[in-house]
Amino acid sequence: DAMVIQNPRYQVTQFGKPVTLSCSQTLNHNVMYWYQQKSSQAPKLLFHYYDKDFNNEADTPDNFQSRRPNTSFCFLDIRSPGLGDAAMYLCATSRDFKGGILAKNIQYFGAGTRLSVL
């Protein structure tokens, strides 16, 4: 089955120690997203790649960076995690239909990585 896979499912890091979360997809979608979700809150978009074009949200801290080496993989790097960065991190993909009749944004999510910061 085509899917979005996030590794690891659980990640524990120390305060200030860099950490990388990974996401891979077999859907061949051209758009990939990273969301942060804290308890009882809405998923908050951090940034997304439209093909190779990186789009950062205005309120995403500089501490968060991303890499997309190819269509299938996307990484979230947290350079110096703070206690406030403990959250669920969700990766999603979508296929752009702008060339078609209608552009529909249905995003497909991975199971998420729960990050703990000690």
Using CB under 8 A, list all residues that contact other proteins. 4, 6, 31, 40-43, 45, 48, 50, 90, 92, 94, 96, 98, 102-112
> Closest distance between other proteins and the C-beta of residue 88, in Å?
9
Distances (CA, A) of 54 to 3, 11, 57: 22, 25, 10
Decide if 34 contacts 40 (C-beta within 8 A): no
Beta carbon nearer to other proteins, 50 or 73: 50
Q: In sequence order, what are the residues at sequence separation of 6 or more whose Cβ sits closer than 8 angstroms to the Cβ of residue 65? A: 76, 77, 79
> Closest distance between other proteins and the C-beta of residue 15, in Å?
26
DSSP letter assigned to residue 85: G
Query: SS3 helix, strand, coil % of the chain, rounded to 5?
Result: 5, 50, 50
Beta carbon nearer to other proteins, 9 or 79: 9
> Closest distance between other proteins and the C-beta of residue 80, in Å?
27
Beta carbon nearer to other proteins, 86 or 96: 96
Beta carbon nearer to other proteins, 79 or 104: 104
